[in-house]
Amino acid sequence: MQVNLRQSWWIRDVEIPSRLVLAPMAGVSVQAFRRQGRRYGAGLVCSEMVSCAGLEHRNERTLGYLRVARDEHPLAIQIFGSEPTVMAEAARMVVAAGADIVDINFGCPVRKVTKTGAGATLLEDPDRACAIVGAVATAAGVPVSVKMRRGLEHGSRACLEIGPRLVDAGAATLTLHPRSARQMYTGEADHSLTAELVERVDVPVIASGDITSRARAQAVLATTGAAAVMVGRAAQGNPWALREILDGDEGEPTREEIAAELIVFVRETVRELGERRASGFLKKFYGWYLGHGRFPREFKQQLVVLDSTEDAEARLFVAAPGAIELVERLEADVPHGDAVTLELPISIYGGG
By annotation, the residues acting in catalysis are 108
Find, among 124, 176, 180, 175, the residue nearest to 155 by Cα. 180
Give DSSP secondary structure letters for 71-113: GG-SEEEEEE-S-HHHHHHHHHHHHHHT-SEEEEEE----HHH
Task: Name the strand (E) or helix (H) holding 287.
Answer: helix 283-290
Number of helices followed by number of strands (H, E) in the chain:
16, 11
At residue 147, the 3 state secondary structure works out as strand
Q: Are 196 and 160 in contact (CB under 8 A)?
A: yes
**HSE (CB half, 13 Å, CA atoms) of 166?**
37
Cα–Cα distance, 330 to 307 (Å, whole number)? 26
C-alpha pair distances (Å), 5 with each of 1, 45, 184, 245, 309: 12, 15, 28, 8, 36
Find, among 196, 77, 53, 218, the residue nearest to 140 by Cα. 77
Cα–Cα distance, 256 to 251 (Å, whole number)? 14
CA angle 249/250/255 to nearest 5° reads 110
Task: Name the strand (E) or helix (H) holding 317.
Answer: helix 309-319
CA angle 273/316/310 to nearest 5° reads 40
Cα–Cα distance, 315 to 295 (Å, whole number)? 12
Specify which residues 262 forms β-bridges with: none
Task: Name the strand (E) or helix (H) holding 195.
Answer: helix 192-200
